[in-house]
Amino acid sequence: MADVVFNSFKAKIMSEIDLDTDTIKCALMTTAYTPNQDTHIFWDDVSANEASGTNYTAGGSTMAGTNITTDTSNNEGVYDASDVTWTSATVSAQYAVLYKSTGTASTSPLVCCFDFGSEKTSSGGNFVIQWHDDGIINLG
């Protein structure tokens, strides 16, 4: 499965989600999760397949260091943030889902899903998601 930007996010990007000021969370999903960019709209559509483990916080980690820039060289809008780390974690996941947290799962819109390609595991070490040098989302 390739990485996807949920269709609902594409529609909401102009009006509902401010990636650099809203509370954006990154949550880990198990291998049982199957992304559906058409029908997965809110956190409660996917949360049943969230990973769990030692030093992993349910609902995911709040994104830090978020920023939106314009890349005039490549004609892109770029969303980026600091890498995400769960310290001393024992957890397994195949996907990471970003979503805007409203505090209510049924009104917390999904942004995107990243497929690690296979299950990624940490056993008492750091579980790190290192974002690409070109940013998390590039819209060109």
DSSP per-residue string spanning the chain:
---EE-HHHHHHTTTT--TTTS-EEEEEE-TT----TTT--BGGGTGGGB---BT--TT-EE--S-EEEEETTTTEEEEE---EEEEEEEEEEEEEEEEE--SSGGG-BEEEEEEEEEEEEEEEEEEEE---TT-SEEE-
pLDDT confidence of residue 15: 59
Q: What is the mean pLDDT of the chain?
A: 92
* pLDDT value, residue 75: 78
Cα–Cα dist 39/46, whole Å: 10
Amino acid at 133: D
How does residue 11 score in pLDDT terms, banded at 50, 70 and 90? Answer: low
What is the value of pTM for the model shown?
0.90
User: Given a cut of 80, is residue 80 above it in pLDDT?
Assistant: yes
